[in-house]
């Protein structure tokens, strides 16, 4: 464990810094299978927090969790042409069951629209059966050929995928937005990551969707990260899979559908945005350990009093709902423990030494600002709880500031290219809504339209062709 600390600075070699933080904090590890990763206890516990928040939200709005099969017959995947084309280059195919070749090869699910909707057709008869609002937590496989980036680009990752069916387009529209707001709540209020939201362009929308809404965050290296998407699938899939319902007048129509997902890539964003040169920094609301108590023994003297005090505080904090642990391991020094818990991103460290026992106080160290304060024993509980909120807010505010300072307006391609080269980030521009302009910008610069703004009016002509613009859009290079 002598190689424990992070050996590069975040500002000097961001990419190497990221890998070191992920591996050394124990968030994740590379798997023996190329392109795959292991979600170790720390990242999985963060994922469980996300699950808890999102499950509570969607269950309260009538969604139900289910589990559909991992395998999708090729013929199902092929039924919606756009969808098939979008996913087939990245499908892992099962061709053998035991020693027997399969008659039809099976896709390991890259996403489950086709298998779920093949079943909706069977379940839905009348308006009484609608809406159906299902969700599943599972892993999906997309056979990436580019280099692996832990959490951000791996051949298998964890996600949730929601699938709903409704009687009208309006209801589906509403569902898409409700989910988008639930996602934003998780990102901004739990992960402390501010996001831009808006519609995707036709080029960038989900394969088979009517339209896609997305949330995009900005990473410290100037690249955007798509954090979540919510699609109105229209009637594309219901026509293909023949999902009809009889309305109250006994007239048959195709259902309107939505699908939506967030994945473990969000954990990569947490690392990138909040982490520092000492390692991970976890927002308190998703930190599996919010506070760690470290006793600081001094030459045997008064150690019992220190431990007693530590245990009392532990119990009191637990009673107040703080996720706290006591690190009383004897085989490690306090200094070693400080480094380890900083590396793992624990929001608050509580130190108790002989002096603290005498003075009836504890030392509180903030992970985000590295500030250390002595606090009177009787104020410890309140102060810790208060501090957790302050840290949560501070992390969000800092990230918000970074996002703001990374949005640059461009009125022409010269400025566009210069900003992209020198600074990166989001480039806010006016656009004529012609896919050709979008594609040429992508070819020339590598930047894509991340979202179309829903509430801003064009402030100039199209940044590429100079013709009349219809939309304000946010361009960026993206992960």
What are 357's two structure tokens?
A: 């026992």
Q: Characterise 364 by phi-psi region: left (phi > 0), alpha (psi -120 to 50), beta (else).
A: beta
Strand partners, 137: 160
State in angstroms the smallest separation of the CB of 68 from a copy of itself: 5
- State which residue, 227 or 289, has the beta carbon closest to a copy of itself: 289
Identify which of 477, 471, 476, 444 has the alpha carbon closest to the alpha carbon of residue 458.
471
CB 92 within 8 A of CB 108: yes
Q: Which stretch binds a copy of itself (CB under 8 A): 111-119, 173-181, 253-261, 420-428?
A: 111-119
Which residue's CB is nearer to a copy of itself, number 123 or number 459? Answer: 123
Q: Quote the radius of gyration of the chain (alpha carbons, Å).
A: 25
Interface residue with a copy of itself among 5, 16, 40, 86 (CB under 8 A) is 40
Q: Which is nearer to a copy of itself, 17 or 117 (CB)?
A: 117
* Distance of closest approach, residue 290 Cβ to a copy of itself, in angstroms: 16
The residue assigned the tokens 């599943």 is 136
Site string for a copy of itself, 58-97 (x = CB under 8 A): ------xxxxxxxxxx--x-----------xxxxxxxxxx
Residue 265 vs residues 43, 160, 166: alpha-carbon distances, Å: 11, 12, 29
**106 vs 306, which CB is nearer to a copy of itself?**
106
Binding mask 145-164 for a copy of itself (x = CB under 8 A): x---------xx-x------
Q: At its nearest, how many Å lie between a copy of itself and the CB of residue 320?
A: 19
Nearest residue (CB) to a copy of itself, 246 versus 363: 246
Sole binder of a copy of itself in the list 21, 106, 179, 410 (CB under 8 A): 106
Within 10 angstroms of residue 195's Cβ, the number of other Cβ atoms is 25
CA atoms of 347 and 291, how far apart (whole Å):
6
Of these, 119, 303, 383, 433, which contacts a copy of itself (CB under 8 A)?
119
Q: Site map for a copy of itself, 327-346, x if CB under 8 A?
A: ----x---------------
Nearer to a copy of itself, 166 or 366 (CB): 166
**Which residue in the set 6, 22, 50, 115 belongs to the binding site for a copy of itself (CB under 8 A)?**
115
- Tell me how far, at minimum, the Cβ of 322 lies from a copy of itself, in Å: 16
DSSP 264-284: THHHHHHHHHH-BTTB----G
Say whether residue 14 binds a copy of itself (CB under 8 A). Answer: no
Length of the chain: 479
* Contact in structure between 404 and 429 (CB atoms under 8 Å): no
Q: Per the structure block, which two tokens stand in for 129?
A: 């059966």
Whether the Cβ atoms of residue 229 and residue 206 lie closer than 8 Å to each other:
yes
Identity of the residue, 144 or 277, whose beta carbon is nearer to a copy of itself in the bound complex: 144
Q: Contact with a copy of itself (CB under 8 A): which of 3, 60, 98, 300?
A: 98
Residue 267, interface with a copy of itself (CB under 8 A)?
A: no
Q: What are phi and psi of 123, to 5 degrees?
A: -85, -25
Helix (H, G, I), strand (E, B) or coil at 171: helix
437 CB-near residues (< 8 Å, 6+ apart): 431, 462, 463, 464, 465
Name the minimum Å distance from CB 67 to a copy of itself.
4
Q: Quick one: which of 179, 178, 195, 234 has its CA closest to 211? A: 234
CA distances from 185 to 188, 215, 317, 431, 452 (A): 5, 11, 26, 29, 20
Binding flag, residue 23, a copy of itself (CB under 8 A): no
**Sites of contact with a copy of itself (CB under 8 A):** 29, 31-33, 36-41, 44-45, 47-48, 64-73, 76, 88-99, 105-106, 108, 115, 118-119, 122-123, 128, 134, 138-139, 141, 143, 145, 155-156, 158, 331
């Amino acid at each position: 464990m002598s190689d424990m600390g992070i050996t590069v600075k975040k500002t000097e070699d961001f990419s190497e810094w990221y890998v070191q933080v992920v591996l050394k904090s124990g968030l994740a590890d590379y798997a023996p299978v190329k392109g795959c990763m292991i979600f170790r206890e720390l990242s999985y516990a963060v994922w469980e927090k996300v699950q808890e928040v999102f499950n509570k939200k969607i269950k309260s709005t009538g969604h139900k969790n289910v589990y559909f099969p991992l395998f999708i017959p090729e013929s199902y995947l092929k039924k919606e042409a756009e969808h098939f084309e979008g996913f087939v280059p990245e499908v892992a195919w099962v061709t053998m069951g035991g020693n027997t070749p399969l008659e039809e090869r099976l896709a390991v699910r890259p996403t489950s629209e086709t298998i779920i909707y093949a079943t909706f057709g069977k379940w839905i008869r009348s308006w009484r059966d609608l809406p159906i609002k299902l969700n599943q937590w599972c892993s999906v496989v997309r056979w990436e050929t580019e280099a692996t980036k832990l959490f951000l680009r791996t051949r298998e990752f964890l996600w949730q995928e929601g699938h709903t069916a409704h009687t009208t387009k309006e209801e589906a529209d509403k569902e898409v937005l409700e989910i988008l707001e639930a996602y934003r709540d998780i990102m901004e209020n739990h992960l402390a990551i501010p996001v831009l939201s808006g519609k995707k362009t036709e080029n960038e929308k989900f394969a088979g969707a009517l339209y896609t809404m997305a949330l995009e965050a900005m990473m410290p290296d100037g690249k955007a990260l798509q954090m979540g998407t919510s699609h109105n699938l229209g009637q594309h899939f219901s026509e293909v899979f023949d999902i009809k319902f009889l309305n109250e007048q006994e007239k048959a129509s195709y259902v309107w559908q939505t699908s939506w997902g967030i994945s473990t890539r969000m954990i990569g964003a947490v690392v990138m945005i909040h982490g520092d040169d000492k390692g991970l920094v976890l927002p308190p609301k998703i930190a599996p350990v919010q506070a760690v108590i470290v006793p600081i023994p001094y030459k045997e003297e008064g150690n019992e009093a220190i431990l007693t005090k530590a245990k009392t505080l532990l119990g009191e904090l637990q009673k107040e709902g703080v996720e706290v642990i006591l690190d009383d391991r004897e085989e490690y020094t306090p200094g070693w423990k400080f480094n380890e818990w900083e590396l793992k991103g624990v929001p608050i460290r509580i130190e108790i030494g002989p002096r603290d026992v005498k003075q009836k106080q504890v030392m509180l160290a903030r992970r985000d600002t590295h500030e250390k304060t002595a606090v009177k024993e009787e104020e410890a509980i309140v102060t810790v709880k208060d501090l957790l909120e302050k840290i949560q807010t501070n992390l969000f505010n800092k990230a918000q500031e970074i996002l703001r300072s990374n949005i640059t307006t461009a009125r022409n391609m010269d400025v566009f290219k210069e900003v992209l080269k020198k600074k990166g980030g989001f480039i806010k521009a006016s656009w004529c809504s012609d896919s050709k302009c979008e594609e040429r910008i992508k070819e020339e610069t590598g930047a894509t339209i991340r979202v179309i703004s829903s509430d801003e009016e064009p402030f100039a002509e199209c940044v590429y062709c100079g013709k009349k613009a219809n939309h304000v859009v946010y361009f960026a290079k993206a992960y």
